[in-house]
Copies of this chain bind each other. A is one copy, B any other.
Amino acid sequence: MPKAVSLLSGGMDSAVLAYHLKATGYDVHALSFNYGQRHSRELQFAEEIAADLPASHDIIWLGVQGDGPESIFPLSDILKGSSLTDTDVEVPEGHYAEENMKATVVPNRNAIMLSIAYGVAVAEGADIVTFAAHAGDHAIYPDCRPIFVELLNETLQVGNEWATPVPRLYGPFLTLSKADIVRTGSELDVPFELTWSCYKGGDIHCGKCGTCVERAEAFALANVEDPTKYEDPDFWKEAVRVQSSH
């Protein structure tokens, strides 16, 4: 059985990818990351998804050592300037495609996570390394573009050419929209209620941050019923209207 190491954030896209890999015959090792992100609540959802699949699952912890061997802080402590890791920066509200969403970028996050996933794949003899970046991410995240993924694959293959096999890194959803992903997930009966998108990390989805707006809009565009409970269930419509009129 071919083996895949796949990033699993606890969000919707990477969950659909994991079910997709499973459906196409892969043994899946799912990796999540704890780097001190504000929405670390998503990690609990990743665990539930992995149990449901089922897939083996590890949470990688990225930390910075403080004084004394036992004192370890999240890596986010030295990756400042992003609203995902720096609690001094406010999480922007509104449509995800807007300029202010660039504040949610964590420097070099995909290269870091994918390099670790690739190391795990080499160690385990896995065939592929995958993550769920999609077409809607390109404009905001330079490390979600096909050119970046192609270059990183070439780099890691050259750097590990003694491996058997040499894993291939790719993003199966790079050309899909988020609505396409919802449709794919719906066909695969993905339990969307076990996924978490909100950047604010409250008890239920806020409905107002960029990723909540993007989530609600994707279900609507895909014409799939959205099982998500939002604090403000209608905000997304106004946000999308404002964005469209720009």
Contacts and interface: CB of A to CB of B under 8 A. Distances in A.
Contacts of A64: 58-61
Interface of A: 34, 58-65, 72, 75, 78-81, 102, 105-112, 115-116, 118-120, 122-124, 142-143, 145, 147-148, 151-152, 154-156, 158-163
Contacts of A120: 78-79, 107
Contacts of A145: 158
A76 to B, nearest CB: 10
Count the copies: 2
A147 B156 contact: no
Contacts of A81: 123
Contacts of A123: 78-81, 107
A116 B122 contact: no
Contacts of A112: 112, 115-116, 119
B108 A119 contact: yes
A175 to B, nearest CB: 18
Contacts of A158: 142, 145, 147-148, 151
A143 B115 contact: no
B58 A78 contact: yes
A123 to B, nearest CB: 5
